[in-house]
A and B are shown apart, each in its own frame.
Chain A
C-alpha cells in the first residue's frame, strides 16, 4: 500500500462508508433473492395459491399480479440504491479522497 492508501485505510470515515454501504447493499441483495426464490418455491410447493382468482369469479388468478410484482421489484430496488448512493455515498467518497490528497500535498 502506498501512503495515500494507508491514509484512506486508517480514516474512520472510510471504514464507516464501507460498513454502511455494505449493509445497504446486502439488504437489497437479500430482498432480490428472497423475492425470486420465494416466488419459485411457492410455485412448486403451493401452486394452488397461484390459482386463486383475484376476486370472486375473476378469470385472472393471483399468480399474474404476483409475477408482475416480482418482475417490477428490481426497478424499485435498483432505484432505491441509486438514489441512496447518490445522496449519501458519493459525497462521502469525495471527502475521503480529498482528505487523503490534502495531507499528501503538505
Chain B
C-alpha cells in the first residue's frame, strides 16, 4: 500500500483528535486535559500504524492476509490469543466488578480462564490439522460445502457483530471519559483505526497489534499490582483485613454471592466456558501457526497469560476498594465513583502513579479495544470473503484478487455497521452483549465443531437443521431473558427467568444435530459418513495439512 496514503490518514486522525480535544476543552473549562495521557495515546496510535504499514508491505496472498502467512510462533500466538480475552471489558470491567461485588468478580473471570484448557484438549491441534483459514473450514470438511458454510458463517457473523457492538459502545464511552472527546467522534475514531489496520494489514497487522498490546497490558498491570502491594508490605492478609473493614458488604465481599444462586443458573453459567471455546475470532488464530505442535504451545502460553492477568485484575479490584476509599477526588457529591462502574482501575492507576501512569493505563486500555475489534473484524471479513464468496459463490475457485477485494470491502462495511450500531445503542446497558455472544457460540458453534470433529454420523442435514433450530431457540430465550425483556424492552416480568439459557440450549443443540443426522437416509449422508475416516486420520496425524501449507 502507498506510504503516502497511510501517513495522510495518520495525520487526519491526529488532527481529528486534537481538534475534538480542543473542542471539548472549549466546552468544559474546568477539565484539565491530561497531557501525559494524550501523548501516550498518540504514541500508541502511531506505533500501531507503523505496524500496519510494515505488515501491509508483506501481504502478498490469501494466506498472508487471513493467517499472517502461517508464520506466527507458538509464544506469539499465545500472546495474541490472551490479548483477545484481555479486552477492555476484561480489564476495566472485571476490576470494576471486583471493586463492587468482590469475590463474584473472580468467579466471572474464571469462565475465560477455564475456556482455555477446553480449547486445547478438544480443538487446538485438530483444528490446525483440518482447517485453512476459519473454523467453518473444519465444520464443512466432509460435508456438502454450500449449505453448511452459509449457515456456519452466518452464525459466526452474528456472534462477531454482537461481540463487536459490545466492544465499540464500551470503547466510545471509555474514550469519551478519558479524553473528553464527544461520543460520536470517539466511536468513529475506533471504527476508522480498526478499518485501517485490517484493510491494509490483514491478520498480520491484527496479530502484531494484539501481541504488543498484550505485552503492554501485562506490564502495566504487573507494575500496578507491585506498587499496590508495596502499600500493604506485600502481605495479603493486611490487604484483605482492610478490604473487609472498608467495603460496605463487610466479610461477605470475599464470599460468592450473586452469580451462583441456584443449580440451573449455576450450570448455565459454568457452560459458558464452552462458548469461550467457540468464539470464531479466537478459533481463527490457530491457522496463523505452522503446525499442531505450535497450536498446542500457543494454548499453553495463552492459558498462563490469561490466568496471570485475571489474578492480577482481582488484586487490582480489591486494592481499589481500599486505596480509593479515603480519596474524595474520585467520587461525586452523591458519593458515587466518577465515570461509572468501569473506572475503578483507572482511578487506582492515578492514585498509585499520578498522571503519567494514568496516561499509560488509559492508552493501553484504548489499544486493547482497537486490537480486539480488529481481531473481530478480520474474522467477520473472512466469514464473508473466504466462506461465503470464495467457497459458496465461486465453488472454491475464486480469483485471489477479487477475494481479497471483497474481504477489504467487508471490513469497511463491518466498520461502518459497528460505528452506526455503536451510536444507536449508546444509551443502552450493553454489559450483557459479550455474554450473549458467548451464549450463542456455546449453543451453536461449539456443538457444531464438536460433532464435526468427533462424530462419524454427522451429516449436512443434521448440521444445518439442528444448528438453525438451536440458534433460533437460543436467540429467542436470550431476548426473553431479564437482560433484554425487562431492562431493554421495559416489560415487568421476564418470560424466561434465567440469565443464561445454556443449560437448555447446549444439550438441545447436540440432540437436534444428532437427531437430524441419524434420520438422514440420503446417499449424500452415506458418503459423508464414509469420509470420516480420512478426516480422522488427518485430524490425528496432520497428513495432508503440511503439504497444503507448503504449497502456498
Contacts and interface: CB of A to CB of B under 8 A. Distances in A.
Contact of B303 (A74, A86, A100): A74
A63 B244 CA distance: 14
Given A58-B237, A60-B236, A90 B293 contact: yes
A21 B121 CA distance: 10
A75 B121 CA distance: 13
B541 A64 contact: no
A71 B307 contact: yes
Given A63-B254, A63-B255, A78-B299, A17 B117 contact: no
B526 interface: no
Interface string B94-113: 00000000010011011001
B2 interface: no
B121 to A, nearest CB: 4
Contacts of B303: 74-75, 78
B237 A67 contact: no
A5 B311 contact: no
B255 A41 contact: no
A61 B255 contact: yes
Interface residues of A, number: 50
Contact of A71 (B110, B255, B273, B293): B110
Nearest to B263: A44
B537 A60 contact: no
Given A41-B266, A82-B296, A96-B541, A68 B117 contact: no
Contacts of B103: 50, 63-64, 67
A82 B297 contact: yes
B413 interface: no
Interface in B483-525: none
B244 A74 contact: no
Interface secondary structure of A, over-half rule: helix
Nearest to B273: A36
A24 to B, nearest CB: 9
B260 A32 contact: no
A72 B311 CA distance: 9
B299 to A, nearest CB: 6
B120 interface: yes
B21 interface: no
User: Could you tell me the dominant secondary structure of chain B's interface residues?
Assistant: helix
A25 B113 CA distance: 18
Contacts of A67: 103, 106-107, 110
Nearest to B254: A61
B533 interface: yes
Contacts of A35: 114
Contacts of B251: 51, 61
Interface string B266-308: 1101100100000000000000000001001101100110010
A4 to B, nearest CB: 7
B537 A9 contact: yes
Interface string A76-99: 011101100110001001001100
Contact of B542 (A4, A36, A93): A93
A66 to B, nearest CB: 10
Nearest to B242: A59
B182 interface: no
Given A47-B255, A59-B244, A86-B293, 8 more contacts: A8-B541, A43-B107, A44-B260, A61-B255, A71-B110, A74-B307, A75-B303, A79-B304
10 contacts: A35-B114, A39-B110, A40-B266, A59-B243, A68-B311, A71-B109, A72-B311, A78-B303, A81-B120, A93-B540
Interface of B: 103, 106-107, 109-110, 113-114, 116-118, 120-122, 236-237, 240-241, 243-244, 251, 254-256, 260-263, 266-267, 269-270, 273, 293, 296-297, 299-300, 303-304, 307, 310-311, 533-534, 537, 540-543
Interface of A: 1-2, 4-5, 8-9, 14, 17-18, 21, 25, 28-29, 32, 35-37, 39-41, 43-44, 47, 50-51, 58-61, 63-64, 67-68, 70-72, 74-75, 77-79, 81-82, 85-86, 90, 93, 96-97, 100
The 3 lowest CB-CB distance pairs between A and B, nearest first, are A59-B241, A43-B256, A29-B121
